[in-house]
Amino acid sequence: MDRYARQVLLSQIGEGGQQALEDSSVVVVGCGALGSSIAEHLTRAGVGDILVVDRDFIELSNLQRQHLFTEADVGEPKAEITEARLKAVNSDISITGVVDDVTCRNVEHYIKNRDLVLDGTDNLDVRFLLNDACNKNKTPLIFGACVAVHGMSMSILPEGPCLRCLFPQIPPPDSIPTCDTVGIINTLPTVVSSMQSTEAIKYLVSGQLDSRLLVMDVWERDFRTIEVSQRKSCPCCVDHTYEYLEGRALDAAVVCGRNAVHLSPPYEMSLSLDDLADSLSSRGTVRKTPHILFFTRDAETFSIFPDGRAVIKGTNDAKKAQSLYKEYVEKYVKEKYK
């Protein structure tokens, strides 16, 4: 307990609470500014089993606010670097980083037998998917979001209210501000993730969660809590119909802060990045790492993963990105494996 001595002294935790943390198992979905910070807090607090799932790789622009990463990590998968960094912080617990896209096909696999799910994503589609999956599996979810100087956090219990009580429908991509359009101050994710992490520790120690919405403006030092009422017609926590979990495809999603679209294939695949590089070399500029193939043509740059996922940077138009994916990636797959 020497490692956690200052934490054990807290009347809210004590030795019993510290043991409860050690016996707990959580999953952090998303490993950007929020998720990497949450994972670090929980690692240092001694949560016994931490799973981090993220589909993305590190870019130079991430370093402004994502504290775990360095210039040497650019181009590497966030989940793998997070696992390595945090194992160096605390070797007494289990930390696993998985490079994957959380979809309706696998989300229940990742949250199964976990005590708590923490949202570290920047994508409302994935958040609504987590909301569905956690409600169905009766697993608490701690939501967090931030943009510009504004942040919010809300703990969601299986009985509700849930995220769809707060946001009945996903707004159109171009109707809400993003990091790409209005920017983000680097202190904001630290504050939001700290609140999420504190709620996580509180729940794992005591079983209690505060389901009020916390909203903040860190520039003006304005923090408020808002009671969220359960919607009588909520399709998730009232009617228990899970449209995001039961088949709404996450084929294309605009990525916050990067003028990019993330695409997931509708079926499982395993690409040879070497073969794909040969196929694309005559059509643009190709650069390959062990994990990612970068392909640039005209104004767009593709980042292509072995499982067929791709991030197309240089456009916020999902339909255009889907068309480019079909031309440069899907066409290769059909020709190679027909």
Q: What are the residue ranges spanned by the domains of the chain?
A: 2-226, 259-337
Asked if residue 337 has pLDDT above 60, the reply is no
CATH topology of domain 259-337: TATA-Binding Protein (3.30.310)
Report pLDDT for 323.
86
Report how far apart, in Å, the C-alpha atoms of 117 and of each of 127, 142, 253, 308 are: 11, 6, 22, 26
Q: What is the mean pLDDT of residues 197-216?
A: 96
Q: Which of 46-60, 154-168, 271-285 is the least confident region? A: 271-285
Q: What is the mean pLDDT of residues 148-173?
A: 90
User: In CATH, what class is 2-226?
Assistant: alpha beta
Split at pLDDT 50, 70, 90, the class of 335 is: low
Split at pLDDT 50, 70, 90, the class of 246 is: confident
In sequence order, which residues have a C-beta less than 8 Å from that of residue 142 and are 6 or more positions away?
A: 116, 117, 118, 119, 153, 154, 155, 156, 196, 199, 200, 203, 209
For residue 225, report the phi and psi dihedrals to the nearest 5 degrees. -115, 140
The pTM score is: 0.81
